Structure 1
């Protein structure tokens, strides 16, 4: 398994819709950050699904090192 790349050292603020499933890019290679575009092929890293019960703003991890994927836990501050 490859280590994830760090496309951004800050979270991605995203307005999510209630009930919709979002596929968070865990490998850091996607051109559609913070979401998966299939660039993880061959890395051994799979995208993570996320859905919310209500429409709201969430902060998806941009450094790909969060302990609470797919949401930011502030780990980027240590990089």
Structure 2
């Protein structure tokens, strides 16, 4: 799968409530780290993420992670 545009060179930590979220894979969303539909017409699709319990999440914003949608430290090599 191709890597998206770098939206930021750092992850964002968020306290997430249970629910379904859609992580932006293309890097073009103005609502990072979540999808706003900017991928339309491209090869990218958002990644559905189901959060079962309240938890802190480090969302990848560099879009280079090998563990989407979560940060794996790839931004350190940019």
Q: Which TM-score applies when normalising by structure 1?
A: 0.91
Distance 1:2-1:52 versus aligned 2 partners, 3 A rule: closer
Poorly superposed stretches of 4+, deviation over 6 Å: none
C-alpha distance in 2, partners of 1:35/1:8? Answer: 13
Contact 2:3-2:63 at 8 Å conserved across structures: no
Q: Secondary structure at the match of 1:21?
A: strand
Q: How many residues align?
A: 78
C-alpha RMSD of matched pairs (Å): 1.5
Contact 1:15-1:57 at 8 Å conserved across structures: yes
Structure 2 unmatched ranges of 5 or more: none
**For 1:42-76, what per-residue CA distance to the aligned partner results, in whole angstroms no more than 9, with x for missing partners?**
11110001122210110110100110100000000
Contact 2:3-2:64 at 8 Å conserved across structures: no
Q: Secondary structure at the match of 2:51?
A: coil
Alignment match, 1:16? 16
Distance 1:21-1:44 versus aligned 2 partners, 3 A rule: same
Question: Which one has the bigger strand percentage?
Answer: 2
Distance 1:17-1:36 versus aligned 2 partners, 3 A rule: same
Structure 1 unmatched ranges of 5 or more: none
